[in-house]
Structure 1
């Protein structure tokens, strides 16, 4: 069995609304366009993760929703996990390792710096810091999410919006 993990940093957020909390910041216009673009690119590869799991922060949830829409997901099918917001490597590993065994592919939508650090922790390839709406795909030779590690990982791809502009 194999497990496939797609690690996605949320798209570009807006700083226009000064009174908003960090969790409530929305995507800006470019962010909405980039999230849709990356969803289209994933769809063109024929990818449809079994589960989309995201931070509940507005910018991460909106990114997950826009990407998910391109992959045929309904917004209510996206699972939110508070631990993904402001998470480090250990937190993200815990969240992913709790994924049910029957889920073969998972799209995780989170925030930097944690999401980039997590991708680099698991990837056999050295990765740059994930740009907004950047996605890394890794495949693991294991039966259970508790077994994922760099030692059983294969790097599939690293993609981001500027590849298409």
Structure 2
């Protein structure tokens, strides 16, 4: 079985005149990151690898989760494949994951993550909110075989407050 955990970056700030990749998190994004990652930590999931978009807001969200989960940084990687807004690059990335990883967590962006969650999951999500987490489970042994799986859980900040 393969498990994919999608996490959309936290609420970002438009306050600064910076390139899109450099936009920082707002305080709410930081707080929501701690909230959702604490809930995930309480589930005691075993995560094999973590990947993040290089965008500052996704990377910062990811680092909050890594610290909260005490995840070893050696099993973490930044990849441009996740700096995607349609979902096409994300889907290709998922299908090329190393099969030795059973549970993978990725950090990225919308509309890509909503499209991926709705394409690969068995329930429709109108919009993955900022810092929203969607867990998808697949009854396959190879990432290249991933098609439609089960939407095992959603953790959205608004529902945890």
Decide: shared fold, TM above 0.5: yes
Correspondence for 2:154: 158
Q: Secondary structure at the match of 1:67?
A: helix
Q: After the TM superposition, which parts of structure 1 deviate over 3 Å for at least 4 consecutive aligned residues?
A: 74-77
Does 2:10 correspond to 1:11? yes
8 Å CA contact 1:48–1:71 kept in 2: the answer is no
Does 2:120 correspond to 1:108? no
CA distance in 2, matches of 1:22, 1:9: 15
8 Å CA contact 1:60–1:111 kept in 2: the answer is yes
Instruction: Provide the alpha-carbon RMSD of the alignment.
Output: 1.2
Structure 2 unaligned segments of length 5 or more: list them: none
Farther-moved stretch of structure 1 (76-85 vs 20-29): 76-85
Farther-moved stretch of structure 1 (70-79 vs 96-105): 70-79
CA distance in 1, matches of 2:24, 2:39: 22
1:58 pairs with one of 37, 56, 59: 56
Q: Compute the TM-score of the two structures, normalised by the length of structure 2.
A: 0.95
CA distance in 2, matches of 1:74, 1:14: 28
Shift in Å, 1:22: 0.5
CA distance in 1, matches of 2:26, 2:154: 23
